[in-house]
Structure 1
Amino acid sequence: MVSFDHREPGTSEDAWVAAGVGDRPQPLDLEGVDALVVLAAHPDDESLGAGGLVHRLGARGVPVTVVVATDGEGSHPGSATAPAELRAVRRREVVAAVGELCPTARVVLLGLPDGGLREHRPELDRGLTAALDLTGGERPLLCAPWRGDGHRDHRITGEVAAALAGRRGVRLVEYPLWLWHWGDPSGDAVPWDDLRGLALSAEESAAKGKAVAAHASQVRPLSSEPGDEAVVGPEMLRHAARPVEVLVEARTDGDRAEHVRSHGRSPGRSSGRAPDRSLGRDFFDRFYTGRDDPWGFETRWYEERKRAVLLASLPRPRFRSGLELGCSTGVLTAGLAARCDRVTGVDVAEAPIAAARRRLGPDTELLRLDTPHDWPDGAFDLVVLSEVLYYYGREDLDRTLDRVLGSLTEDGVVVACHWRHDVPEYPLGGDEVAERVRARPELGVVAHHEEEDFVLDVLARRPVASVARATGLA
């Protein structure tokens, strides 16, 4: 996630206007849209990010449904106001706000934990799917928070919406909110080519302004006490009040929808990019821009537990030489270093490599390489492929596995661990890459661990011996 503080002034609206936010985006095409479903991570997202869109289509008689994932009870963590009280306030506010935008809109409150959407993806997916099923439209438009917005709940809601859009062939647009606060208008993180603008009439702007004001607990202080400050500051309000509502519509969405309509979707496969094209270095450079720990390696129990499972699955107490592909900021690398005489970490982007150097010091070899075209020298009796293989297209994946086996010693061990949920941007899904690793005839499975969230395989050159047999216990 992007590191930012909502209490800071942030990027000024004047800077965005000077960069052309009002006139650079191509117009948003709403021709033929016969239903609208707007997903909000928290009450007020729908008004700040898509209020004009809701009013426009609602006024045309298009059925509108607003799905609110959480009640936003965590908006004031330092306040004396009880979360239950804030939850009730924010529920009332969002109903009133949507009423200002479109009196006939259906509001669906899922009541999932604020800040905990990653752990409640299935419930979010079911709620959003049910709302989409009830629209009855043949050409619905799904509108969700932008996945690059820098807020964890916004990313999760965007990912769930993108996965649903991919498997159902539904058009998706995304609305940035916090991008306008932390973003640099001249930086690479702004998806200028994918921005779409909806020029608002005076009536639409007025309705949006009333809707935003209805979220009083967010746009005004709860009280004069510390911790009760307004969450949405003056510049954020200026961003929301601009005469053009700006959304993101990725250029690949139409191709993705057409592919799903024509070919369907197989289990464990991502619904995003073509599986024959790897993600390039520019993707990761953009991903790490302004983000110290974008995967949450240092903060999420999920990541800590997964590392512990992986390290506990290693079949030997020590290894001579380890290779970690996609080492990122070096959190797992540090755990591997404790089990190896030497470790080499490889990543395609410079920012995570720099962070790993600060974490691990000069004793660990860290290389920025564009694999599989580039490859580290040497032989390795441990190769760890954790959350990395689905970034490759199929040809590069097979070549990567060839190079892994070319570097693997006769007693070498390969560990592959991958996220199983869909991520539309990735060329492949976790289940598919796991199957392709297990299908290599040179390798046999020492251990296989599978959960809803990730799959982990420990493999070795054939013939394979269990830990008990290898140590003389069986």
Structure 2
Amino acid sequence: MVSFDHRDVGTPEADWEQSGRLGELEPFEVSGLEALAARSALRVVVLAAHPDDETLGAAGLVARLARAGARVSYVIASDGEASHPDSPTTSVEELVRTRRRELLSAVQHVAPGAAVHLLGLPDGGLREHRAELRSSVGSVVTADGPHGREGTTLVVAPWAGDGHRDHRIVGEVAREVVQGAAGERELRLVEYPVWFWHWGSPDDPAHPWSSMRRLDLTGDEPDSRRRSLAEHRSQVAPLSDQPGDEALLGPEMLRHFDRPYEVFVVEERAEADPAQPDDASEQPTMTSSLGEEFFDSFYEGRSDPWGFESRWYEERKRAITLASLPRQTFRAGLEIGCSTGVLTEALSQRCGTILGVDIAAAPLDVARRRLGDGARFEQLTTPREWPAGDFDLIVLSEVGYYYGPEDLVTMLDRAVASLTPDGVLVLCHWRHEVEEYPLSGDEVHAAAAERTDLVRLLRHEEEDFLLDVLVRPPARSVARETGLL
């Protein structure tokens, strides 16, 4: 999850316009969906983490398909009751009622008569209610229409990489539901960014530009979106003139949603290969990264499952890693996949500040107890989510093989983008095969070796593990850097 503050100006809309990046996106072809809608063969299920997400991200698309004849349902996970936590004038209960009324009014400008499902889950707490969210979303997405399971269902969800924790959870749940029911009915998924426009950069190569599509709005679609957004008064205007009642969506943020187009993340479906046997799609592949559920299950009831604190092998490897660092101290360190924080604790002695990141909550609880104020920790699903800031030391120890091939490339892209000009990237990985891991340790290091923006300063190689220290070219030895040569 990207760290950002909605009160910051963020990336100005002028930067997006002047970059030309969005104008170069491939168009989102929806004529086929419109044709389905005209035959009453299209259902559209719009998911949102909070009231107003559905308008900001997808009002134009939904308006077009609704007017073509699609049946539209909305599933709103939370009531957005945490938008004004310090309001001196409006209680949480009043804000819930207000935001529900606003949502129902906003929907009428886009898809009159649409079904609206208000789940009332905690704003900011969707991760803790993931199972309930998945069950509710699944029941709506897979509900039979007037013609049973015939026709197509388009799921329109927040982009899982949007940088907001609740948006991530809804996006991930949407993917799980669509993938889980894909064999039973015709389902498609498109995702809409919201906060990405605030924290993202048109110059960042790590963003999924190749999967982004632009939908140019026509007719009264821009007006429908404006009228719908205006209904969310509690978010686009101050609740009062008192501190704590400021508008959540400032003028610069709103400019992103006054464009004559919308942008979606669309994963193109691969066409069937007639040369492949009929059951080829059923063959398991290891192209996806391991998800949160894998690690939650792994850590359940186990305080030190890797033996970081009990195995001499781990103690020795940790000592080799620390001895391989080419500088005595670093300004800001980042450890991806920090687990219970044993290595983080050692790195903290060499870094002015240290941030540990992990996908699972349980080991982070142990790490926080271990280090107290000696480090910061964030629960993020990398590489889709990535911590803000620049680092002169980034450590990826026993984590790279959990990524699928594409995610590994993105992870390395993001790591290099976060590395200061004098920064050091450390990779350390087990070399023996683990059946359930998407990649091997050797494959992780080979992918890093192919990059032209990094060079190897040091390699430690054993039968059991590889350790590489990488820097930006040219690599200078410790003796040269310290003046001995």
Q: 1:135 Cα deviation (Å)? A: 6.0
The answer on 1:407 being equivalent to 2:464 is yes
Return closer, same or farther for 1:47/1:262 CA change in 2, 3 Å cut-off.
Answer: farther
Q: Secondary structure at the match of 2:259?
A: coil
Alignment of 1:462-473 (within 5 A): none
> 1:147 corresponds to which residue?
160
**Deviations 1:72-93 (Å, cap 9, x if unpaired)?**
1111122232212111111111
> 2:179 corresponds to which residue?
166
Q: Secondary structure at the match of 2:141?
A: helix
Q: 1:15 Cα deviation (Å)? A: 1.2
Match of 1:223 among 240, 262, 275: 240
> 2:216 corresponds to which residue?
199
**Deviations 1:198-248 (Å, cap 9, x if unpaired)?**
111240000100001100011111111212111111122111110011111
Q: Percent identity?
A: 40
Unaligned runs of at least 5 residues, structure 1? 285-294, 296-301, 357-364, 376-382, 398-403, 409-474
> 1:24 corresponds to which residue?
24
> 1:392 corresponds to which residue?
439
Return closer, same or farther for 1:78/1:11 CA change in 2, 3 Å cut-off.
Answer: same
> 1:368 corresponds to which residue?
427
> 1:132 corresponds to which residue?
141
Q: Secondary structure at the match of 1:5?
A: coil
> 1:48 corresponds to which residue?
56
* Counterpart contact for 1:69–1:109, Cα < 8 Å: yes
Alignment of 1:17-416 (within 5 A): 17-33=17-33, 34-80=42-88, 81-134=90-143, 136=145, 138-169=151-182, 170-251=187-268, 253-254=269-270, 274-275=285-286, 277=287, 309-311=301-303, 318-322=310-314, 328=336, 330=338, 332-334=340-342, 345-346=397-398, 348=400, 367-369=426-428, 371=429, 390-392=437-439, 407=464
Q: Secondary structure at the match of 2:336?
A: coil
Q: 1:56 Cα deviation (Å)? A: 0.3
Q: 1:194 Cα deviation (Å)? A: 1.0
Q: Secondary structure at the match of 2:189?
A: strand
Q: Secondary structure at the match of 1:23?
A: helix
CA distance in 2, matches of 1:315, 1:209: 56
Normalised TM-score (structure 1): 0.63
Q: 1:344 Cα deviation (Å)? A: 10
> 1:460 corresponds to which residue?
none
Return closer, same or farther for 1:347/1:246 CA change in 2, 3 Å cut-off.
Answer: same
* Counterpart contact for 1:345–1:367, Cα < 8 Å: yes
Q: Secondary structure at the match of 1:311?
A: coil
Q: Secondary structure at the match of 2:31?
A: coil
RMSD after superposition: 4.2
Q: Secondary structure at the match of 2:106?
A: helix
Q: 1:352 Cα deviation (Å)? A: 7.0
CA distance in 1, matches of 2:304, 2:23: 55
* Counterpart contact for 1:347–1:367, Cα < 8 Å: no
Normalised TM-score (structure 2): 0.62
Structure 2: which amino acid aligns with 1:407?
Answer: D
> 1:464 corresponds to which residue?
none
CA distance in 2, matches of 1:315, 1:49: 45
* Counterpart contact for 1:44–1:94, Cα < 8 Å: yes
CA distance in 1, matches of 2:339, 2:416: 11
Q: 1:366 Cα deviation (Å)? A: 8.8
* Counterpart contact for 1:74–1:114, Cα < 8 Å: yes
Q: 1:407 Cα deviation (Å)? A: 3.3
The answer on 1:15 being equivalent to 2:24 is no
Unaligned runs of at least 5 residues, structure 2? 34-41, 322-333, 347-394, 401-410, 445-460, 466-485
Q: 1:23 Cα deviation (Å)? A: 2.4
Alignment of 1:415-434 (within 5 A): none
Q: 1:172 Cα deviation (Å)? A: 0.8
**Deviations 1:292-341 (Å, cap 9, x if unpaired)?**
xxx9xxxxxx98x9879433567897432305899626352427979xxx
